[in-house]
Chains A and B, each alone.
Chain A
Amino acid sequence: MQRKKATAVFAAGAAILSLTLAACGGGSGSANTSTSGSASGASSSATGGYPAAAKEITFWGWAPGYDKAVEAFNSSQSAIKVKYEEISPGAKGGYEKMLNSVKANQGTCLAQVGYETLTSFAAQGALEDVSSYAKSSESEFAPGAWNSVKIGEAVYGAPVDQGPMALFYNKKVFEKYGIAVPTTWAEYQAAGKTLKEKSSGKVSLTSSYLNYDFAGFTWQASAPWFGVEGDSWKVSISSDATNKVSAYWDGLVKDGVISKAPMWDQSWYTGLSDGTIATHVGAVWIAGILKGDAKGGSGDWAVAPMPQWNAGDTAVGNVGGSASAVLKGCSDPEAAWTFAHWMSTDKDAFAGLVDSAALYPAATALLDLPALAKEDPYFGGQKIFDVFKDASGKVVTGWTWGPNMPETVKTLDDQLGKTWSGTQTFEEATKATQEKTVSDLKAQGLSVAE
């Protein structure tokens, strides 16, 4: 009897030991990082030695250059002290960290939240309504961007940037093979085939696109994934308009012009650097990614307007763009708004963000910043922001994000992964995502109109 009990205790002990070890060593779990982050935050604020009168707020983000903007703000005044902490990008665990922090009531005030995720944050009750301070600033921002930070009458933060799309292409490679810059999707596909033939398979037209990068294509095609009908969500990830986009990309996969290097992987940066991935259709901030992580391509790249479905059209999609959102539980939402508004509208601060992250301002007064009119040596001296200035006015309206985007895009990415590797079609992928999303939303009690 005693023996048997000891046996069970031993087994349980072994189970417990390894469970706890696994929990500590996990590393990729967001809970770990969030607690350690807050611990270091607490200790540094305790020893910071700032004047007691200053209101202190914490700001979480990942865009390169935010740290410098915070420094500039702190040295420009003494009433508010902003403490910036760089965290993982939202989709790579940053959003979970923020939501966990709100849940744990840690009092983090401001966070970089992409427009696509803002609705999901609001649906978790994770945001603070700052409309009482913010309302008067509405006219300072582009209408599309302002709409992205408000739901109903509530305003949840300051829009920072927008993500109008364009065609990034390796000019040197295009010239080498004598290919004209494509203006339509049909020409784009033809360019891919020519590249493949003339380089005997070495140069790929582009790489695979997941989640929001893929959504940009359906955005351009006026195929919004979500909508609101009365008191219900309308889910339209799979639709006739999406199917047009799907069929097109199926064709490209079949042509074999898509690189096997997944976007954001080291092999992707390498491909962009050495010219084996010839184009990327993406938002303005891709310029910052190219300059930062594909340094070998310096001088080779150029920017052209996004390819169109019909010659002469001018529709543009959007990827990303983010706000400095005020999180629930912030001790001083007014101070948080003050800083957020300052960072989005201050000329010098934003010039820094243009240089370091190629952010395109949401504040209309900043659109004639000198930094946006500079010739960029990385792009062979091209004034690339001219293209985006034109594009930002042509972004298709009517796009709505759903109430649980983190869940939706995880489902979507599982499906798209299979599609890019050629084992199913994009139509099947979007259909499966649609079905799963509807059932997930219903399982949580949300009302969905079909």
Chain B
Amino acid sequence: MTTPTLRTSGGARRRATRSAWLFLLPFALLFLLMYLVPLGFAVVQSLFKLQRSGLGLSAPTLTFDPAFNYGRLFGDADFIASLGRVVVFGVVQVPIMLGLALFLALLIDSRSAKLKGFYRLAAFLPYAVPGVISAVMWSFLYSPVTSPLNNALQDAFGFTLPFFSESWVLWSVANIVTWGWTGYNMLIIYSSLQTVPTEVIEADRLDGASSWRIAWSIKIPMVRPALILTTILSIIGSAQLYNEPAVLQPLSGGTITKTFTPLMSAQAQAAAQNYPYAAAQAVVIAVLVGVLSITFFKITNRGDK
């Protein structure tokens, strides 16, 4: 669309365009090779049916059958259950985590806060621990045998917390995610708070607004873009839940199954060497996440007008 107008413009402009493209090239190339090509490959693969016959002691063949994997997927009770699980997870965990992040950000941003640097770092620190490592750490705290938490509870009150019971296990996972990601989200919200003009705050203060009132009526509306961004990132994160449940799985006594989350389910299919079906699951997850993110963004944008 834009190229014809550029072609007619002067040489200096053309050179500027060329250097712009040059700067873009490394990203565009990586984006193409590392993202678009694998994505396309997954979509193509999902259209094939893995076919074996008899005893199946020779390599399986792939036949083109676009509806096969997608058809199987919607009848796959385990996969559907895993989708439901991350939806419940997202609906409960994301608001709690972001509420906490916003609260912490406002606290650190408030005028009377002391040791801002320390608290900012302390809240952010869990995020610096790689996800798998923090899950391993929490697995020690949850472990049916070694849990110091449960041992202390047992000694003091004579009961233990069933971290891995059917009804608890999702929230045990949510706890780890919240622990790990609240600081990260807080930092995004906090940096957004820094852009709120001090004149505005001062004017409100002169008008007699309390700190709570300023936070509610001025600061929160002004960091809306940051809240939307963190919500979308968190929705995506929930849909892609993998590290924490995968690490806890061996300890869970069967409550975390190989199809606990959609990504675990896709991974299990890949491990069973059924790549076309794994690809179909991955494509469905990606489409759902895309639709969800765009829908959320549209809804929040409409409110603006």
Contacts and interface: CB of A to CB of B under 8 A. Distances in A.
Nearest to A405: B272
A15 B35 contact: no
Given A27-B243, A264-B250, A271-B145, A231 B236 contact: no
A445 B145 CA distance: 43
Interface string B264-285: 0001101111100000000000
Contact of A414 (B55, B164, B254, B270): B254
A265 B164 CA distance: 16
B239 to A, nearest CB: 10
A414 B59 CA distance: 28
B88 to A, nearest CB: 20
B51 A419 contact: no
Contacts of A260: 144-145
A14 B235 CA distance: 11
A404 B243 contact: no
Contact of A266 (B58, B146, B290): B146
A124 interface: yes
Nearest to B301: A7
Contact of B57 (A18, A151, A262): A151
Interface in A202-252: 228, 231-233
Interface stretch (B118-126, B194-202, B291-299): B291-299
B72 A15 contact: no
A447 B54 CA distance: 5
A29 B246 CA distance: 11
Interface centre among A416, A417, A447 (most CB of B within 10 A): A417
B176 interface: no
Contact of A418 (B59, B145, B240, B255): B255
A404 B273 contact: yes
B246 A28 contact: yes
B289 A410 contact: no
A261 B237 contact: no
Given A231-B54, A231-B55, A416 B254 contact: yes
Contact of A14 (B57, B60, B144, B293): B293
Contacts of B178: none
A261 B250 CA distance: 10
A233 B55 contact: yes
B237 A445 contact: no
Interface string A381-423: 0000000000000000000000110110011011111111101
A446 B61 CA distance: 12
A178 interface: no
Contacts of B257: 414, 417
A328 to B, nearest CB: 8
Contact of A11 (B144, B253, B293): B293
A357 interface: no
A18 B57 CA distance: 40
Contacts of B258: 410-411, 413-414
A16 B35 contact: yes
Interface in B202-251: 229, 232-233, 236-237, 240, 242-243, 246-247, 250-251
B290 A12 contact: yes
A415 B250 contact: no
Contact of A444 (B130, B132, B247, B274): B274
B14 interface: no
Interface centre among A8, A28, A419, A444 (most CB of B within 10 A): A444
B52 A444 contact: yes
Contacts of B233: 14, 18
A324 to B, nearest CB: 20
Contacts of A19: 35, 236, 240, 286
Given A403-B56, A417-B254, A26 B289 contact: no
Contacts of A415: 254
Given A18-B233, A27-B130, A124-B59, 5 more contacts: A15-B286, A19-B286, A418-B253, A446-B56, A447-B55
9 contacts: A15-B286, A96-B271, A119-B57, A262-B250, A420-B254, A421-B255, A423-B254, A443-B72, A444-B60
